[in-house]
Structure 1
Amino acid sequence: MSNYSIKIPDIGEGITEVELVEWFVNEGDRVHEDQQVASVMTEKVSVDITSPVSGTVATLGGKAGDVLAVGADLILIRLETGGSDNVAASQSKPESQSSSASQSQSTATESATEKSEVSQRITDSTPAGEKTVATKAATDPEPVKMDKAPTAKPDSMPISTAPVAALASTPHQRLLQKVQASPAVRKRAADLSIDLNQLANQLGKTHLHHADLDQHLQGGSSTVRSAGGVQSIPVIGVRRQIAKKMQESAQTIPHFSYVEAIDVTEVEQWRKQLNAQWAESRGRLTLLPFLVRALCLALTWHPAINSRYNAEQNTLEQYEDVHVAIATQTDQGLMVPVLENAQQLSLWRMADQIRELAEHARQGTGSLTAKSTITLSSLGAMGGIVVTPIINAPEVAIIGVNRQVQQPVVIEGEIQIRTMMNLSSSFDHRFVDGLHAAEFIQDVRRILESPQLYLMT
């Protein structure tokens, strides 16, 4: 019986290695042509790998979280009877194994080139500091097809004669096919710190329900926690990319933060008036579009802050258009979908696109190629009084929005109760001086405190 090795494909853009995020098959599973077998991730994209042949999974070439080189063996498929004639023929001639193996490798690679396709999918987004998970609101991209499988290296092991042990020596993790569960079940499991993959393995099923969680809680299955109540959770996929980008940004960028109190009484009153008149026909406005509009206007006066640093060329790329990354919390972590050309949008169009961006980020769909020039991070009522946000590299500034509070303020000698809100911002001190940062935030404050003077056009 012949074996067929699926290798890590060349995804392009100079990618030399990928992270193995998830297996969709186990050893011993039967797979058919074009079936998804694994998901891998680069810094820019998540890719589902499909099998170009039908057969039985002999060996998995790694476990979730492993980093594999392009061209490395990913999975070994034991071909069904009547599979690739060229591969089978090479095994039927042991006396000329070397020459047959070489021919088999070439033929099998050509076969993979004709059959293999990689469907590119979007994972959903990014944290502040995670450019690679930015999404775009305008469209929900179709899967991207790759026409060719990677070509095997001449000195690699011949596919037709590669023993199962060649891959078996690599550590691997036995997983069931992708666990299916409703959003409610997934949320409940997350709240209870229950690992659905482990629970599915223990129960021997791929579709989990609330009853399965109840059974586990009642002691009907072995615990998914380690001894002592400590879980060992692999840092893989989106979370690994978030961690990497956060660490790089914090370690390589000399941050300095600037906090200013903003009187948002007037802009909040104006927002409520607009909603009272237009909410039913045009949708409700939150404060976020007003903040984005204020940033866009202030950046026209301070264009150096609307920039990205190109470390390879050691240049500061200054943009005319404003592309605002909106920090969005998702089940996978903090994503930063990008509101492109924000300066061209009306308040309502901006609000619509922000909602679409957030939805795409939470669903894991959208474009990963959008480039932002500044990030806006708001936790709403959970925003606290002061934060020190980490810059979303390679940008040079991030604006953190704190919660609103009612405070007594002295205005022209009289005490008034006003709605106050802090802006906590961080800047890259290599390119933004303290004075310039202060002037920029003071202009944002001036715009927000006189909204109908600056924001109506």
Structure 2
Amino acid sequence: MTEFKLPDIGEGIVECEVVEWRVNEGDAIEEDQPVVEVMTDKALVEITAPEAGRVTKLHVGKGEIAKVHAPLFAYEAEGQAASADASGSAAAEATPSETPAPEAAHDGQAKDFILPDIGEGIVECEVVEWRVAEGEAIAEDQPVVDVMTDKAMVEITAPEAGRVSRLHVARGEIARVHAPLYAYVPEGGDQTGAAGEASPAPAAAPSRQGPAEPTAAGAPAASRGGRGAHGRTPASPAVRRLVREHALRLEDIPGSGKDGRVLKEDVLAFVAEGEVPQAASQAAMAPARGAGRGEGEVRVEPMRGVRAAMAKRMVASATSIPHFQYGEEIDATALLALRERLKPEAEASETRLTLMPFFMKAMALAIQEFPILNSRLNEAADEIHYLPSCNIGMAVDGKAGLMVPNVKGVETLSLLEVAQEIQRLTGEAREGRVTQADLQGGTISISNIGALGGTYAAPIINAPEVAIVAIGKTQWLPRFDAAGEVTRRAIMTVTWAGDHRLIDGGTIARFCNAWKGYLEAPETMLLALR
């Protein structure tokens, strides 16, 4: 028996109402036959059968709510019942010596590995790298695949030893939580032909990594605008979503699958050939024409993973938090000199000493004087929560996009310990392998834009924090000393963004002065250390 899980219908929809069942329990169904109509908050959606078989159970009643990635109905695929009957008859007729042992009953049977719930409400992730290939042996807890959520890179390991029979989701494609990720034959099963025979692909679902299945002899390779047995162009929900994203009509796309089924490859090939509606084509090409690029094509890249999450968070922060900016200059001459003196000691501990540990330690000390900078508003915005630990985040331009891991409990760590944590987090962020624990719980953030050459920036607060500072590059500039003489000083610009619901200009100015004092005379930090 196979459980049909409600697929991702798109646009962030997580549930829908069952409006009408087109079948009953016990009914036979055909591939692409309409099974149920569901109503989202956008439209009425028709769900079709993925393959031929017989319905065994309807999990959600008419008028009830169905959840995305949760079982919607169960069915017995065509051939399963006959196979089960044949197996039962053979077992009944077998002599005692011929009766197979219970543990051998499933030899050669491939098992689907279902992508587990990764937490934080994540419903999908991108496959970044497969560590194994079809037909390859795997050991228990062996890393199998790296996936990227909108939070961080996650490594998926094998639940048991065996042999991979099929990779259901190709590299760069989207895997759904609670959906099959790959299939494998457990150790002890029939390994012969495990890559193919143990887990045969249904005719209606060719491997995403291989070519489309061949058509019958003499039949055309593709049927333009083909229709299935139920008078509709066959296509999966994911393909229909892709068609909508490109403003196409499903009926216009040649389908290379069974009964003219439109596959993802068909849609991409159709787009690459430039066979798009005239209106959509003109709209897409308008920017290029306006820029004078002539016949250039618009390259479309899906917004995924960390970049997609950052976009949503920044829009939410910028539109829901009243920002105000505050700028200052810091004389970092003494700080640079101190760092140069301490670098050999840090290198002896295999630690790279940058200016960031000093920024963080000085900030933690200043927060002791101004704890409002280490607080946050509750959701109702009627309470201020003062946080017990100073977890300072740092923006890192990583492999997967901008990440803001944070150093936990900076107020309790030594300067060297802070530097070691920064080194660890920076390395992991640049490889896109930061854990969710390192990305959560931040209380205030630093963006060192100066490392890339910027002088000024107007940062956006990393909600629900109440402040963030952007540090510009350090420049050697002329300044007057106490005697009125012009001297060469290392000047660094900083720009703060604050949540005006909690803090005002006077508060941020006094806090910045305290922080600046520790940085301009770093030896004074010794007086405040505990």
**TM-score, length-scaled by structure 2:** 0.51
Alignment of 1:314-333 (within 5 A): 315-333=383-401
Write the letter of the residue equivalent to 1:15: G
Tell me, yes or no, if the aligned pair for 2:110 and 2:165 is still in contact at 8 Å. Answer: no
Write the letter of the residue equivalent to 2:135: R
Counterpart in the other structure of 2:427? 359
Structure 1, unpaired ranges of 5+: 85-159, 176-226
| Aligned CA distance change for structure 1 residues 173 and 23 (closer, same or farther; 3 Å) | farther
CA distance, structure 1, for counterparts of residue 130 and residue 346 of structure 2: 45
Counterpart in the other structure of 1:90? none
1:250 aligns with one of 304, 312, 318: 318
| Aligned CA distance change for structure 1 residues 17 and 167 (closer, same or farther; 3 Å) | farther
1:20 aligns with one of 126, 129, 153: 126
Aligned to 2:463, what secondary structure does the other structure show?
coil
**Aligned positions, number:** 325
| Aligned CA distance change for structure 1 residues 163 and 80 (closer, same or farther; 3 Å) | farther
Counterpart in the other structure of 2:412? 344
Alignment of 1:201-350 (within 5 A): 228=296, 231-275=299-343, 278=345, 281=348, 285-311=353-379, 315-350=383-418
Counterpart in the other structure of 2:502? 431
Residue 264 of structure 1: CA displacement?
2.0
Tell me, yes or no, if the aligned pair for 2:164 and 2:183 is still in contact at 8 Å. Answer: no
Counterpart in the other structure of 2:51? none
Alignment of 1:146-185 (within 5 A): 164-165=202-203, 167=205, 172=208
CA distance, structure 2, for counterparts of residue 19 and residue 359 of structure 1: 22
Counterpart in the other structure of 2:67? none
Aligned to 1:424, what secondary structure does the other structure show?
strand
Aligned to 2:437, what secondary structure does the other structure show?
coil
Residue 363 of structure 1: CA displacement?
3.9
Aligned to 1:321, what secondary structure does the other structure show?
coil
For residues 75-131 of structure 1, what are the alpha-carbon distances to aligned partners after superposition, in whole Å with 9 as ceiling and x for unaligned?
A: 5679999669xxxxxxxxxxxxxxxxxxxxxxxxxxxxxxxxxxxxxxxxxxxxxxx
Counterpart in the other structure of 2:58? none
2:511 aligns with one of 421, 424, 440: 440
Q: Which stretch has the larger CA shift, 258-267 or 235-244?
A: 235-244
2:484 aligns with one of 390, 414, 429: 414
Structure 2, unpaired ranges of 5+: 1-82, 84-107, 192-198, 212-294
Aligned to 2:498, what secondary structure does the other structure show?
strand
Tell me, yes or no, if the aligned pair for 2:306 and 2:402 is still in contact at 8 Å. Answer: no
Residue 345 of structure 1: CA displacement?
2.5
Write the letter of the residue equivalent to 2:179: A
2:510 aligned with 1:403: no
| Aligned CA distance change for structure 1 residues 401 and 24 (closer, same or farther; 3 Å) | same
CA distance, structure 1, for counterparts of residue 414 and residue 306 of structure 2: 33
CA distance, structure 1, for counterparts of residue 348 and residue 145 of structure 2: 45
Residue 260 of structure 1: CA displacement?
0.6
Write the letter of the residue equivalent to 1:21: V
Structure of larger gyration radius? 2
Tell me, yes or no, if the aligned pair for 1:55 and 1:80 is still in contact at 8 Å. Answer: no
Write the letter of the residue equivalent to 2:469: I
Write the letter of the residue equivalent to 1:17: V
CA distance, structure 1, for counterparts of residue 476 and residue 336 of structure 2: 12
Q: Which has the higher helix share?
A: 1
| Aligned CA distance change for structure 1 residues 451 and 243 (closer, same or farther; 3 Å) | same
Tell me, yes or no, if the aligned pair for 2:169 and 2:175 is still in contact at 8 Å. Answer: no
Tell me, yes or no, if the aligned pair for 1:21 and 1:237 is still in contact at 8 Å. Answer: no
Residue 47 of structure 1: CA displacement?
4.4
CA distance, structure 2, for counterparts of residue 376 and residue 285 of structure 1: 17
For residues 176-227 of structure 1, what are the alpha-carbon distances to aligned partners after superposition, in whole Å with 9 as ceiling and x for unaligned?
A: xxxxxxxxxxxxxxxxxxxxxxxxxxxxxxxxxxxxxxxxxxxxxxxxxxx9
Write the letter of the residue equivalent to 2:444: I
CA distance, structure 2, for counterparts of residue 228 and residue 318 of structure 1: 54
Residue 4 of structure 1: CA displacement?
5.2
| Aligned CA distance change for structure 1 residues 362 and 163 (closer, same or farther; 3 Å) | closer
CA distance, structure 2, for counterparts of residue 279 and residue 14 of structure 1: 37
Residue 261 of structure 1: CA displacement?
1.0
Write the letter of the residue equivalent to 1:373: T
**TM-score, length-scaled by structure 1:** 0.58
Tell me, yes or no, if the aligned pair for 1:256 and 1:426 is still in contact at 8 Å. Answer: yes
Tell me, yes or no, if the aligned pair for 1:7 and 1:74 is still in contact at 8 Å. Answer: yes
Counterpart in the other structure of 1:72? 179
2:135 aligned with 1:30: yes
% of aligned pairs identical?
31
Tell me, yes or no, if the aligned pair for 1:55 and 1:77 is still in contact at 8 Å. Answer: yes
CA distance, structure 2, for counterparts of residue 297 and residue 78 of structure 1: 57
Aligned to 1:352, what secondary structure does the other structure show?
helix
Counterpart in the other structure of 1:384? 454
Which protein, 1 or 2, shows the higher relative CO under an 8 Å CA cutoff with sep ≥ 6?
Answer: 1
CA distance, structure 2, for counterparts of residue 30 and residue 275 of structure 1: 50
